[in-house]
Amino acid sequence: MPELPDVTVYIESLAARIKGDTLLRVRVLNPFVLRTALPPITQAEGARVTGVERLGKRVVLALQGVDGSELFLVIHLMIAGRLRWLAAGAKPPAKGALATFTFNAGTLLLTEAGTKRRASIHLVAGRDALHAMDPGGIDVLHADVTAFARQLQAENHTVKRSLTNPRLFSGIGNAYSDEILHRARLSPIVLTRKLTDAEIARLHQATRDVMTEWIERLRADAARAGGWPDKVTAFQPQMSVHGRYGQPCPVCASPVQRIVHADNETNYCARCQTGGRLLADRALSTLLKASWPKHIDDIE
């Protein structure tokens, strides 16, 4: 799922192309994707783009309607949704497109891989209606350590769960939470109310550093690709642990470990984050029982 760094670069790339432009036409090519009926999607046509914003992991086009009304087109990519930019006059692909948004400058194309249809489009009128869609998580790039600690310890959950809770923190998902926790040298399953002040400060700094570094990295990638982020993925080769199960940790060279639960996989370095202890995987540790290794030294 595109997270804060990916969505930030999408927004910057979009703003450079369409801010001040007119949304000429909206084509909904798969009816499931449009989740609102009022105002009708046709009301966005002819509107001027006044800004491009981020709402958690959503991309928001702020519009001024032809009647002067304030509208917001909200695009949630979920796991497999992606945005593509087509030059003016270019034809969209015959398959895979969910919706197109045509401007004078070109066409924004919403696609979704796979068969599960989770991506969504909402059109809402007025900023109050937009605010109602906000889960309420704080912006980690601007929150100080006091605000960060307050959110983190509002509920006593594992730190991984809290970091990825959109009601607590805005824009952090499965991929970047793994990278943040590795940078902070913290176990993904430690409970938030057991963290010391020093650990919270370390986590706060790691969160800011990881997000800032990846925004800069993705900006550079987009610039090399002509100004558009064409390769948005949760599995980047430069990541330290996420998606790197079995590969060497860049800090200590121990093999990266994982915890698999449903559709999610948590990756971590046992030597850097858990004092060498291997965390129980709900599937494998139950299957292997007494044969399940307890320490990284047992498998290295």
Q: For 3-10, what is the mean pLDDT?
A: 97
From CA 77, how far away is CA 64, in angstroms rounded? 23
Per-residue confidence (pLDDT) for residue 95, from 0 to 100: 76
Q: pLDDT confidence of 77, banded at 50, 70, 90?
A: very high
From CA 76, how far away is CA 58, in angstroms rounded? 5
Q: What is the mean pLDDT of the chain?
A: 92
Sequence-distant (≥ 6) Cβ neighbours of residue 74 within 8 angstroms? 55, 58, 59, 60, 120, 121, 122, 123, 124, 130, 133
For residue 49, pLDDT beyond 90 = yes
Q: Are 4-131 and 145-298 the same fold in CATH?
A: no
Q: pLDDT confidence of 285, banded at 50, 70, 90?
A: very low
What is the CATH class of 145-298? mainly alpha
For residue 287, pLDDT beyond 50 = no
Q: 117-176: per-residue pLDDT in tens?
A: 889 999 999 999 999 999 999 999 999 999 999 999 999 999 999 999 999 999 999 999
For the chain, which residues make up each domain, given as ranges?
A: 4-131, 145-298
Q: Is 4-131 a domain of CATH 3.40.1800.10?
A: no
Q: 218-243: per-residue pLDDT in tens?
A: 999 999 999 999 889 988 999 999 99
Angle in degrees, CA 161, 167, 173, rounded to 5: 45
Per-residue confidence (pLDDT) for residue 283, from 0 to 100: 54
Three-class SS of residue 295? Answer: strand
For residue 249, pLDDT beyond 90 = yes
Q: For 27-36, what is the mean pLDDT?
A: 94
Per-residue confidence (pLDDT) for residue 185, from 0 to 100: 98
User: pTM of the full predicted structure?
Assistant: 0.93
Alpha helices in 132-263 (DSSP H): 145-152, 159-163, 174-184, 197-224
Residues above pLDDT 70, as percent of the chain: 93
